[in-house]
Structures are given as C-alpha cells and as structure tokens.
C-alpha cells in the first residue's frame, strides 16, 4: 500500500490523469477511476507542473519514481505496438543516470562475490566511478598483469528493490487487465520482467558479450571487449578497458584522422553483419555505448540489451527491404504473409496497396533524406492494422536502425549510410536471398527433415 500511495502522489504531481483525459478523452479508463484520479490530483496538486503533453509528463514521473520505473519506461519505449508511438517516443528521453553509490559498497560487493580481498583480485581499483546508472556503476581497475579493465558492479539494493516493485507491477497489471485487456498490461509486465531478469544477471551479459566477440573475431574494424571470467559473476562484470570517444563526436573523429564518410560505411556494415549475418545484434547503441578508438575501430560496450533474429526473420526483413528498393510492393506483401507477420486470411492486394502508400512518397527523395528505419517502423504498424501484434524482435531492430541513422547524420548530414554499404548488401543478398540461395536452403531443410 505504501508503494501505491507513493505512485499516486507522484502521478498526481504531474497530473497524469488530467493530461490523459485532455489528449485521449479518458479512453478507456472507467468512470470511477477517472473521478477518483482527478480528485486526488486536484487535492494533492492544485497547480500542475508545466508539461506539454501526456508522454512528457509520464517520462518525468518515471524519472521521479526511481530506477526500476526508469527501466520500465525504457522497456516500454521499445514497444510502440503496445503503448502507441507518441508515448513510446516520449519515453525514449528517459535518462538512465543516477548518483553513484559509495566505492566502499562497490568493493564490498566484489569481495563478497569472490571471497577475496580486493587487492587479491586487482592490483589497483579506482574509487571514483566512471559511470553510474540505475542497475550498476562502472569503475576502472587494473589486473595484476597490468591490464586496464572496466569493472561493472551491481547496485547493492537493486535486486531487493526490483523484487518489491515487480510484485507491485503485476498487482496493478492484474487490475488493469480486467478493465481493458487491449492494453495488454500483464504482457507488458512480463516483457519487462524478462528484460530485467536478464539485465540483473551479469553472467548473461558476459555471455552475450563473449558471443559477439566471437562473431567479430578477425574483423579489424570492430572491437568487442574481452570478458575476464575469473573476475566476473552475476553481480560483477569485468571486461577489457575501452579507450575512445563517443562516435557521435564528429570533431574528435576528424581529430583522430578518420574520414567520417568511411566511418559511416563501417557502422552500417557492422550493423548488417550483426543483424543479417549473425542474427544477433546490440540493441542499445546509444551515445554512451558506442565509441570510436584512435586506431579507427568501432567499440561496443554494455550488452545488457541484445536482439536475436531467427533465420526466418533475417531473410524476411532483407527481402522486404529489397522489395521496397525495387518498388515491388506485391513481393513485400507476399514476404509478410510467408513470414507470418500478417494473418493468412489477409487480402494480399490490399496489403500491397498499403505498402505502396507508405513507400511511394519517399521514392523521389534524395537518398540522404530516406530513412529505412522509419519505413520499417510504419510497416510494423501495418501488422496491427491487419490484426496481428508487431514482432518484438523487429521493433528492437527498427530501434537500432534509428539510432544508427542518427550516428550517420551526426558524422555527415549529406550521406545515406545504407547507400554506402550497398556493395556489401548486394553481395550478402546474392548469397542469401537470390533464387539460387533460396533453393539451396529449401533442399537443406528437406534433408534435415527427412534425415
């Protein structure tokens, strides 16, 4: 009850119900809930905090409620199919930065995890953290062989706080489900629960990092930090230190002697290698997680959120993109149907017409003004129109593409990074989605089924 009271007070401060009423006409909140929510807001906060719209107010309220609510908001921001595109876009602005906790607490966590004194694990441990977020903070340290490492330590009370909050979330979700199941509150809570369980176990993050490092073994354009397993546990993650600058900083890129256009091409190819070659991609490439090193390599850190595409998804998305480029909208529609993204009963001609309505307006635009990520976002929205929920893995892919397009624009606003990667894309397509490649995959599938 105390948590419920705290949430009511914070939501009242930001007049969440009033803003929702103004923008969405209170649909579909029951009248009794509307009445009591409005009374509470007016009594507690007669003068509303200035906010422009519901999404902005919700973002500010989650920031005020604390780390678990921030993570919930970030998870929801990747699911516009469940909460709407406007609110999802507002929640993307949530900042996952909190004050650092005391270094002595961090050292205590490390020593308890490995049952050894800190000096037996690291020759030197910097007490000043280099980053602090809702789940953990990072310190620089040195192994006894002189290697600089990044040590990520979980916040001491975060698991207990999460356990308390997730029970509350399921309680509220159960109530909301009765009034309006279309919101899918229990499904949203379950998705958040799965995501958080993964982020709270650093062994899983270490495994993701290790898999990505193996995938890029021998690729001199990308650097994935090494995991030091002897100093890694579910609460502590130790990786090689990355020395570099944010890839978004064009001036630093030029100061390093790196051509921004060539770097944009590298970024695009890196993404296509992750998504289409491996079917496993970093799904949280914000400015703090992607660096440019002085030798020109792209470095990725923080693998708490990753995406995985099945072979079916990889080839389907590639065929959809090629169909768009060729303006063959019937081919796009057939790919959607074959991949199971729309019901088998769908009017394929009508769906192709919708695809044309989305894609034709960009057909004559300069390449620099074309956003493949935005096109995929609109096409994902079509699945809802035709009676199916959007695919979570494709939404993560689309989110990553938007972030990467932002990187490309920050490096050179007059280029299209996907166009730069076109030779690689054509080579991959010839190998994987040409008629010959499809025939080979079909034969292999038959052999597997009857062997």
User: Rounded distance, CA 197 to CA 143, Å?
Assistant: 29
* SS3 sequence of 244-284: CEECCCHHHHHHCCCCHHHHHHHHHHHHHHHHHHHCEEECC
Q: From the CB of residue 290, how many other CB atoms can be counted at a distance below 10 Å?
A: 23
Q: In whole angstroms, what is the distance from residue 150 CA to residue 227 CA? A: 10
Count other Cβ atoms within 10 Å, centred on residue 174. 12
Check if 259 is active-site: no
Whole-angstrom distance, CA of residue 138 vs CA of residue 414: 36
Burial class of residue 368, CB neighbours in 10 A (0-12, 13-18, 19+): middle
Do residues 215 and 280 touch, judged by C-beta distance below 8 A? yes
Angle at Cα 210 formed by Cα 77 and Cα 78, nearest 5°? 5
End-to-end Cα distance, the chain: 59
Q: DSSP states of 384-437 as a string?
A: HHTT-PPPHHHHHHHHHHHHHHHHHHHH-TT--HHHHTHHHHHHHHHHHTSHHH
Closest to 134 measured CA to CA, from 113, 107, 154: 154
Taking the C-alpha atoms of residue 192 and residue 98, their distance in angstroms, rounded to an integer, is: 20
Instruction: Say which of 201, 284, 302, 313 is annotated catalytic.
Output: 284
d(CA 209, CA 299): 12
Question: 202 exposed, middle or buried (CB, 10 Å; 0-12, 13-18, 19+)?
Answer: buried
> 95 — phi, psi (to 5°)?
-95, 120
Q: Is 157 exposed, middle or buried (0-12, 13-18, 19+ CB in 10 A)?
A: exposed
Which residues are the active-site residues? 284
């Amino acid at each position: 009850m105390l948590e419920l009271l705290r949430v009511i007070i914070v939501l009242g401060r930001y007049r969440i119900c009033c803003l929702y009423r103004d923008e969405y006409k209170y649909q579909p909140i029951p009248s009794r809930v509307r009445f009591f929510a409005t009374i509470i807001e007016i009594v507690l906060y007669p003068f509303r905090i200035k906010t422009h719209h519901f999404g902005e107010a919700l973002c500010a309220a989650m920031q005020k409620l604390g780390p678990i609510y921030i993570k919930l908001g970030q998870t929801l921001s990747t699911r516009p199919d469940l909460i709407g595109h406007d609110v999802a876009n507002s929640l993307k602005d949530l900042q996952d930065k909190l004050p650092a906790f005391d270094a002595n607490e961090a050292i205590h966590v490390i020593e308890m995890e490995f049952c050894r004194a800190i000096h037996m694990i690291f020759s030197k441990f910097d007490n000043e953290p280099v980053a602090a977020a809702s789940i953990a903070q990072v310190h620089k340290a040195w192994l006894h062989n002189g290697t600089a490492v990044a040590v990520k330590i979980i916040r001491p009370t975060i698991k207990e706080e999460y356990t308390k909050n997730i029970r509350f979330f399921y309680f509220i979700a159960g109530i909301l489900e009765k009034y309006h199941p279309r919101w899918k509150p229990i499904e949203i809570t379950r998705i958040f629960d799965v995501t958080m369980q993964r982020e709270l176990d650093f062994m899983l993050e270490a495994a993701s990092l290790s898999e990505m490092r193996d995938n890029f073994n021998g690729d001199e354009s990308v650097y994935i930090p090494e995991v030091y397993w002897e100093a890694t546990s579910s609460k502590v993650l130790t990786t090689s230190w990355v020395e570099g600058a944010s890839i978004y900083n064009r001036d630093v890129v030029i100061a390093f002697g790196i051509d921004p256009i060539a770097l944009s091409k590298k970024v695009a190819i890196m993404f296509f290698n992750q998504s289409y070659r491996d079917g496993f991609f970093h799904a949280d490439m914000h400015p703090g997680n992607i660096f440019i090193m002085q030798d020109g390599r792209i470095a990725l850190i923080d693998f708490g959120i990753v995406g995985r595409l099945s072979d079916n998804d990889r080839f389907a998305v590639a065929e959809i993109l090629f169909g768009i480029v060729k303006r063959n909208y019937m081919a796009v529609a057939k790919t959607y149907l074959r991949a199971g993204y729309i019901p088998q009963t769908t009017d394929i001609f009508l769906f192709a017409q919708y695809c044309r309505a989305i894609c034709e307006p960009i057909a004559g635009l300069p390449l620099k003004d074309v956003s493949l990520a935005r096109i995929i976002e609109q096409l994902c929205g079509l699945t809802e129109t035709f009676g199916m929920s959007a695919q979570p893995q494709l939404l993560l892919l689309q989110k990553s593409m938007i972030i990467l397009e932002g990187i490309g624009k920050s490096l050179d606003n007059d280029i299209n990074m996907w166009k730069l990667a076109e030779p690689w894309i054509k080579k991959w397509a010839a190998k994987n989605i040409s008629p010959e490649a499809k025939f080979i995959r079909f034969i292999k599938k038959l052999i597997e089924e009857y062997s």
